[in-house]
């Protein structure tokens, strides 16, 4: 007997994996016609396919309190205040997943991916044809890492995980267990002992860059993250933002203050921490000025390939190894060297702030305030670490209106609702092409 809507020729295309999965998981996909698959693949789904999408969504939704999340993301202050008050109740706090949980779950990779609801197919032709490479540098909080990976995961991308060499053995083993369940996720073969504000943070990304270039996936752009980052966009939205860049990179790159200039004027030594000596350094071996920015950026494949192959760039990187917090001036300076692919001229018209770049949204405590009175962003509703906002659910409405691809910092132990609602918003939007708002 012919199954309505399940045509044999679908099984010959990548897209048919979607319908096959839906049928197997729900047993109730018999009225969805061929136009649904065509619609998903060509980004032209209409409301006539809503029932099919609903069935699909039910198999992959992440079980957030969707009604509350819709209100929170929509900026409903009553819902936000109620949620923040509830978070103070110790009896309501959830127990985070531990390394042991992940060791046990990943013993059966198929079950792990099914139970954790990973996407195992591209949701559009555009996404499939535009793979992205990720470097994720982590050292703790296994659940937050796995939730980040799940949210950005799609099989056409490739993910390099750099685990701090001094991280607990149990953490490292859990990360490797998770990575072992995916052919396109791997732990970097060379791991650094990452010391705050030292060269090791840059080297961690360089290690991943080198391996990502050797990977058979012909990725188009590189994005680096840490374990407390979380996306603000779906993979489809990220791809479209990268296509618009048209080969250009996007990263903060501004004129350094007098204080920041001192970071590369003296030789620094690293033991358990970084410390400045009184030994003066030589001038940087480049003909262009130095700039400052931050550690996180979006760069083209050509940029990554050039910096690993160029003798000029390698000489500059070697010079920068003993500077203070090189991740905040190395990338920003490379972005203004004319011979670097995707770079911008060092003319003042091309200075770019972190708010103008698309890579990462960060709220600094000393700049928060009333945006109607000139503050760059509203006050943090969570807490602060090293002057950076750890977002609360009350921050979601504003940050989701920004153009940034990712935001930092999130921590489910500070506000799990913020992470949960963002997860559900992005999963819903990936499937329905519209958010919870």
- Is pLDDT at 27 greater than 90 in this prediction? no
Mean pLDDT of 44-52: 61
Would you state the pLDDT for residue 59?
85
Whether residue 409 is preceded by a cis peptide bond, meaning omega within 30 degrees of 0, is yes
- Is pLDDT at 435 greater than 80 in this prediction? yes
Averaged pLDDT of the chain: 91
Cα dist from 266 to 213, 263, 271, 274, 276, whole Å: 33, 7, 16, 12, 7
Would you state the pLDDT for residue 64?
66
- Is pLDDT at 418 greater than 70 in this prediction? yes
pLDDT, tens only, 226-283: 999 999 999 999 999 999 999 999 999 999 999 999 999 999 999 999 999 999 999 9
Query: Do 19 and 13 form a contact (C-beta atoms < 8 A)?
Result: no
Would you state the pLDDT for residue 15?
44
- Is pLDDT at 392 greater than 50 in this prediction? yes
Structure-block tokens of residue 403 = 């153009």
- Is pLDDT at 5 greater than 70 in this prediction? no
pLDDT, tens only, 133-165: 999 999 999 999 999 999 999 999 999 999 999
Nearest-CA neighbor of 178 among 138, 210, 207? Answer: 138
Would you state the pLDDT for residue 247?
99
Pick from 28-37, 56-65, 107-116: least confident: 28-37
d(CA 316, CA 340): 13
- Residue 198 exposed, middle or buried by CB count within 10 Å (0-12, 13-18, 19+): buried
Pick from 45-54, 206-215, 398-407, 425-434: least confident: 45-54
pLDDT, tens only, 299-349: 999 999 999 999 999 999 999 999 999 999 999 999 999 999 999 999 999
Query: Do 151 and 176 form a contact (C-beta atoms < 8 A)?
Result: no
pLDDT, tens only, 89-114: 877 788 999 999 999 999 999 999 99
128: enclosing H helix or E strand: helix 125-128
d(CA 295, CA 332): 9
% of the chain residues with pLDDT over 90 = 80
% of the chain residues with pLDDT over 70 = 88
- Is pLDDT at 46 greater than 80 in this prediction? no
Count of CB atoms situated within 10 Å of the CB of 237: 18
Domain spans, the chain: 47-93+360-403+405-436, 258-348
- Is pLDDT at 26 greater than 90 in this prediction? no
d(CA 139, CA 187): 12
Mean pLDDT of 10-19: 42
Would you state the pLDDT for residue 436?
82
Pick from 67-71, 212-216, 253-257: least confident: 67-71
Would you state the pLDDT for residue 67?
81
- Is pLDDT at 33 greater than 80 in this prediction? no
Catalytic machinery residues: 328
- Is pLDDT at 18 greater than 70 in this prediction? no
Going by pLDDT thresholds of 50, 70 and 90, the confidence category of residue 173 is very high
Mean pLDDT of 367-392: 98
- Residue 372 exposed, middle or buried by CB count within 10 Å (0-12, 13-18, 19+): exposed
Compare 353 and 10 and report the one with higher pLDDT. 353
Query: Do 212 and 135 form a contact (C-beta atoms < 8 A)?
Result: yes
Going by pLDDT thresholds of 50, 70 and 90, the confidence category of residue 14 is very low
Name the pairing type of β-strands 158-163 and 185-187. parallel
């Amino acid at each position: 007997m012919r199954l309505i809507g399940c045509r044999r020729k679908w099984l010959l295309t990548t897209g048919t994996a979607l319908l096959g999965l839906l049928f197997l998981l729900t047993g109730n996909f018999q009225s969805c016609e061929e136009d649904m698959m065509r619609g998903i693949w060509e980004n032209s789904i209409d409301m006539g396919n809503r029932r099919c999408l609903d069935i699909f969504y039910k198999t992959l939704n992440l079980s957030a309190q969707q009604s509350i999340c819709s209100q929170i993301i929509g900026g409903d202050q009553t819902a936000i205040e109620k949620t923040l008050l509830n978070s103070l109740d110790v009896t309501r706090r959830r127990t985070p997943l531990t390394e042991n949980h992940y060791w046990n779950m990943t013993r059966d990779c198929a079950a792990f991916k099914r139970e954790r609801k990973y996407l195992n197919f591209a949701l559009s032709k555009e996404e499939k044809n535009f793979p992205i490479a990720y470097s994720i540098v982590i050292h703790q909080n296994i659940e937050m890492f796995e939730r980040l990976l799940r949210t950005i995961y799609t099989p056409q991308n490739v993910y390099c995980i750099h685990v701090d060499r001094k991280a607990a053995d149990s953490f490292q083993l859990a990360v490797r267990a998770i990575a072992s369940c995916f052919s396109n996720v791997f732990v970097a073969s060379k791991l650094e002992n990452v010391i705050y504000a030292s060269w090791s943070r840059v080297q961690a990304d360089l290690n991943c860059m080198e391996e990502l270039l050797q990977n058979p996936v012909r990725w188009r752009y590189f994005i680096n993250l840490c374990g407390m980052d979380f996306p603000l966009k779906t993979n489809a939205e990220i791809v479209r933002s990268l296509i618009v860049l048209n080969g250009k990179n996007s990263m903060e790159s501004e004129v350094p203050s007098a204080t920041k200039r001192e970071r590369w004027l003296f030789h620094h030594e690293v033991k358990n921490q970084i410390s400045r000596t009184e030994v003066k350094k030589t001038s940087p071996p480049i003909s262009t000025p130095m700039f400052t920015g931050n550690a996180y950026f979006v760069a083209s494949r050509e940029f990554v390939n050039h910096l690993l192959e160029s003798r000029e760039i390698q000489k500059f990187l070697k010079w920068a190894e003993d500077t203070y917090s090189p991740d905040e001036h190395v990338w920003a300076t490379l972005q203004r060297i004319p011979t670097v692919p995707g770079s911008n001229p060092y003319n003042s018209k091309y200075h770019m702030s972190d708010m103008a770049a698309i890579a990462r949204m960060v709220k600094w405590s000393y700049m928060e305030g009333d945006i109607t009175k000139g503050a760059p962003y509203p006050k943090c509703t969570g807490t602060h670490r090293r002057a950076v906002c750890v977002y609360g659910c009350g921050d979601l409405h504003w940050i989701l209106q920004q153009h940034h691809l990712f935001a930092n910092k999130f921590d489910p132990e500070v506000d799990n609702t913020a992470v949960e609602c963002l997860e559900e918003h992005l999963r819903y939007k990936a499937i329905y092409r519209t958010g919870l708002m």
